[in-house]
Amino acid sequence: MTKPAFLLTASPHLGSGDSTPTIMWSVVASLVPVVGASVYYFGPSAVLVISAATLGAVLAERVFGPKGALRDGSATITGVLLGLTLPPGLPIWMAFIGGGFGIGFGKLIFGGLGQNIFNPALLGRAFLQAAFPVALTTWPALGGSWWSLRGDNLALPLMSASVPDAITGATPLGLMKFEQVTTDYSDLMIGSIGGSLGETSGIIILVGGLYLALRNHLNWRIPISIFVTVAVLAAVIHALSPERYPTALFMLFSGGLMLGAVYMATDMVTSPVTNKGCWVFGFGIGFLVVVIRLWGGLPEGVMYAILLMNAMVPFINRATQPRVFGTGLREVST
């Protein structure tokens, strides 16, 4: 009788069914409503900018990355997330370059998926902010036809950008910081405000985050600790000087905090592996966000807060290793 060939693998022979591509694509899926909201508010410009950033990221992964890496979905996340952090009127060639830079220099140069220190989408945005500071801080005013472009999206590469045809507006954080003007909470929460594409709808982002947390595809400790830290610090500071500093609710729902806390800081690769470390990491981000927003030179600090804490992750991991079972016990009295 010939020997039948049976599978020979090491134990365990069963798996939980979760896979890295499943996690990545479920993140992409949960971003669909966020992208939808940005299209609702910013029209075709949102489609153009997010598509260009995603295309840049995906092409870089395809050309420079390992074979088949596109299937794991991580480059798509980077591209979409980068797109959501950009102003609606950004020339799309810049978004494209940002996506390529994020994947190329934010991820592949470190050795690809799982090896990078910094969140690739945020690194792409930091690069764009350094390279094109004016374009990255030009915000379109709300209003006008849905069909109109919110800026010179179709500008040719390296040409001086034309004056935006829409009247330049400002973000709630910018208004707060430079003009001491506050924005309605309801506008902040549902997103009818100026700002980056994904900064607009806190509620939708929270729903997406809840979905991912329930599927155990993000560590809920990170956003919660960011929110609590920001809220507590902002509330205390506001109480000390109400006319100078904004309220906690304003701090939570303005700028990129929601998107950053739910989707950027929770990037598994660049956040701590220990749960205790996630609390520390979230606290650090929240603290830095408040410090940069209130006393820094920029109106918004989420990006730098996360990137700075990304750099701290190896130290946080080392400092928060769990106590191994059966170690550090008091002498057993038998």
Partner 1 sequence: MLHKLTFRHGVHPPEFKELTEAVAVRRMPFPDEVVLPLSQHTGRPAKLLVRPGDRVERGDKIAEADGFISAPVHASATGTVEEIGLWPHPLGNYSTAVRIKVEPYSAQAPRPRMVPEWEGLSPEEVRQAVQNAGVVGLGGAAFPTHVKLTPPKDKKIETIIINGCECEPYLTTDHRTMVEYPERVQQGIRIMMQCLDVDRTMIGIERNKPDAIEAIQATLPTDLDVTVHPLTVKYPQGAEKMLIEALVAREVPSGKLPLDAGVVVQNVASVATIAEVFETGMPLIERIVTVTGRGIRRPSNLIVPVGTKLRDLLDACDGLKEDAFEIVFGGPMMGAAQADLDTPILKGTTGVVVLAESEVKAKESHPCIRCGHCLDACPVFLNPQLLGSLAKAERWEEMEASHLMDCMLCGCCSYVCPSNIPLSQLFQLAKAALRKRKAA
Give the interface with partner 1 as residue ranges (CB under 8 A): 3-4, 6-16, 18-23, 72, 74, 112-115, 216, 219, 268-269, 271-275, 278, 321-327, 329, 332, 334
Pick 6 or 147: Cβ nearer partner 1: 6
Q: How far is the CA of 28 from the CAs of 100, 119, 122, 140, in angstroms? A: 18, 16, 16, 27
CB 79 within 8 A of CB 57: yes
Q: How far is the CB of 31 from partner 1 (least distance, A)?
A: 17
Task: Tell me the one-letter amino acid at 79.
Answer: G
Q: What would the two tokens of residue 27 be? A: 């993140």
By beta-carbon proximity to partner 1, the closer residue of 218 and 292 is: 218
Q: How far is the CB of 216 from partner 1 (least distance, A)?
A: 7
Closest separation between CB of residue 86 and partner 1, Å? Answer: 25
Distance CA 225, CA 208 (A): 17
- Give me the least distance between CB of 178 and partner 1, in Å please: 39
- Residue 1 vs 163, nearer CB to partner 1: 1
CB nearer partner 1, residue 232 or residue 273 = 273
Which CB, 240 or 324, lies closer to partner 1?
324
**Least distance CB 242 / partner 1 (angstroms):** 40
Closest CB to partner 1 among residues 21, 157: 21
User: What are the backbone dihedrals phi and psi of residue 69, each rounded to the nearest 5 degrees, phi first?
Assistant: -65, -25
* Least distance from partner 1 to the Cβ atom of residue 70, Å: 13
Min separation Cβ 208 and partner 1, Å: 18
Q: Tell me whether residue 145 or residue 334 sits nearer to partner 1 (CB atom).
A: 334
At its nearest, how many Å lie between partner 1 and the CB of residue 77? Answer: 11
Pick 4 or 297: Cβ nearer partner 1: 4
Measured on CA atoms in the order 70, 74, 76, 82, is the torsion positive or negative?
A: negative
* For partner 1, the closer CB: 86 or 278: 278
CB of 318 vs partner 1, minimal distance in Å: 9
In angstroms, the CA 312 to CA 272 distance is 9
